[in-house]
Structure 1
Amino acid sequence: MAKAYDRMEWLFLEGMLRALGFDRSWVELLMVCVTSVKYSIMVNGEIAGQAEARGDIHGVRVARGAPAISHLFFADDSLLFFRPCEREAKHIKECLESYSSASGQLINFEKSSAVYSHNTSPPVRALVSEIIGVPEATDLGRYLGLPSVVGRNKTAVFRCVEENIRARTGTWQNKLLSRAGKEVLLKSIAQSLPIFTMSTFLLPMRVCDSLEKMFNRYWWGGGRWGYR
């Protein structure tokens, strides 16, 4: 949404809609939707999100003064953020049960997991996990091929980028390729593999140096990949 919501002027969008012949009332309604940063969902005539509005649950903030985030949805994955205490855990459980009752869908608690901060004591972790009915996990694993939690040892975390390049290029018939063919493979495939990771994380210099050495060995060393 960065291109649509951060790089387009609202006056330009409104002018284009009017120029294309859309009805004035429809254009005004659409502009109210896209220019507003706050949305509300009505459920049976009542505004949803009452648990957070009442202070029953509290989300997390990425920085001081930033808005609190209580949940994130993407496709069929959901992330819920709340304080690790008995009171908020019970409210979260009630919200999940209300959703199941209203939608007819069942939540698979066995495939769900709870991740806690390092400041949360083991007894509190056990209590919250028991109330909600989900096991505790050290992290959320990988999501869309990227690690969900990056610790201090970033070099070991992003070692998967090097392994991915090694796996993709290991099947190439490198010795039979010309210099032009090697250049195409390097630029179109090998060098493009880390782009997705680098668009989200700042890779350590050790990883970048290792990738550069791998590319250099392939270019100058007859196609042999490895670590030094």
Structure 2
Amino acid sequence: MEALSRMISALVLNGRVSGYSIGPIGGGSMNISHLFFVDDSLFFCEANRNQVQVLKALLLCFEASSGLKVNLDKSKMVPVRSVQNLRQLANTLECKMASLPMTYLGLPLGAASRAASIWDIVIEKVERCLAGWKRMNLSKGERITLIKNTLSNLPTIANAKDISVEEVRVIAGGQIQWNINFSWAANDWEMDSIEALLSLLYSLQNKN
């Protein structure tokens, strides 16, 4: 995927694909043209036929040179705001159409992050992960080792970097609960790590 990343970056540098600019106008902005998640990819361009044709040519070139299959039929074109010629652009790329908000890689995308309902799917995934931990047959020593490794990282992910374990741990009814406030809004690609962290913490029982 490094080769594909370099190819799309070259197109942006030469002005053939614009990407998507985020940040304050006039300084400090960042241009994002693509994001890769294992075998899944996101590409950003303007809603015009020329850029879509360039993107398609890039993907076909990458397919021919790498031997990897680019399945455009399973790809989706997702507009940001209103795009009048979306169907025409999708036909050019020979892909399907979708719209925001949507679910991407099992997580909500494009919805208001403060809406409680959009996090239901995240909660369900964490609950399933917790259920899996309950079925795991780890020895006490193995469980303690995992817990120690995780707890050692709490200062770097907590909202206050000098926070102690005691400040985020609550014992109620013989059960340990964790009150962790992350210092950033989690990204899609971080959710698996966060699920693993929460699963590990809530698998610990208060046994002195």
Match of 2:10 in 1: 50
Coordinate RMSD, CA, aligned: 3.5
Q: Tell me the secondary structure at the aligned position of residue 130 of structure 1.
A: helix
Q: 1:166 to 1:120 in 2, by over 3 A?
A: same
Give unmatched runs, 5+ long, in structure 2. Answer: 135-171, 188-208
CA distances 1:4-59 after superposition (whole Å, capped 9, x unpaired): xxxxxxxxxxxxxxxxxxxxxxxxxxxxxxxxxxxx97xxxxx8443222211101
Match of 1:212 in 2: none
Give, in whole Å, the separation in 1 of the partners of 2:108 and 2:21.
20
Give, in whole Å, the separation in 1 of the partners of 2:110 and 2:50.
27
Give, in whole Å, the separation in 2 of the partners of 1:128 and 1:142.
21
Q: Select the structure that is richer in strand.
A: 2
Which residue identity lines up with residue 179 of structure 1 in the other structure? G
Give, in whole Å, the separation in 2 of the partners of 1:79 and 1:118.
17
Match of 2:146 in 1: none
- Alignment: residue pair count: 140
Q: Tell me the secondary structure at the aligned position of residue 97 of structure 2.
A: coil
Give, in whole Å, the separation in 2 of the partners of 1:90 and 1:131.
7
Once the two structures are TM-superposed, the CA of residue 146 in structure 1 deviates from its matched residue by 3.0
Which structure has more RCO (C-alpha within 8 Å, separation ≥ 6)?
2
Q: Residue 142 of structure 1 is aligned with which of 104, 118, 125?
A: 104
**When the two structures are superposed, what TM-score results if normalisation uses the length of structure 1?**
0.51
Q: Tell me the secondary structure at the aligned position of residue 116 of structure 1.
A: coil
Match of 1:157 in 2: 118
Q: Residue 63 of structure 2 is aligned with which of 93, 100, 114?
A: 100
Q: 1:155 to 1:94 in 2, by over 3 A?
A: same
Of structures 1 and 2, the larger Rg is shown by 1
Give, in whole Å, the separation in 2 of the partners of 1:164 and 1:76.
21
**When the two structures are superposed, what TM-score results if normalisation uses the length of structure 2?**
0.55
CA distances 1:130-161 after superposition (whole Å, capped 9, x unpaired): 00011001245133x53222238712212335
Give, in whole Å, the separation in 2 of the partners of 1:137 and 1:161.
21
Q: Tell me the secondary structure at the aligned position of residue 61 of structure 1.
A: strand
Q: Which aligned pairs between 1:143-222 and structure 2 lie closer than 5 A?
A: 143=105, 145-151=106-112, 154-163=115-124, 179-180=173-174, 183-184=175-176, 187=177, 199-200=185-186
Give unmatched runs, 5+ long, in structure 1. Answer: 1-39, 42-46, 173-177, 202-228
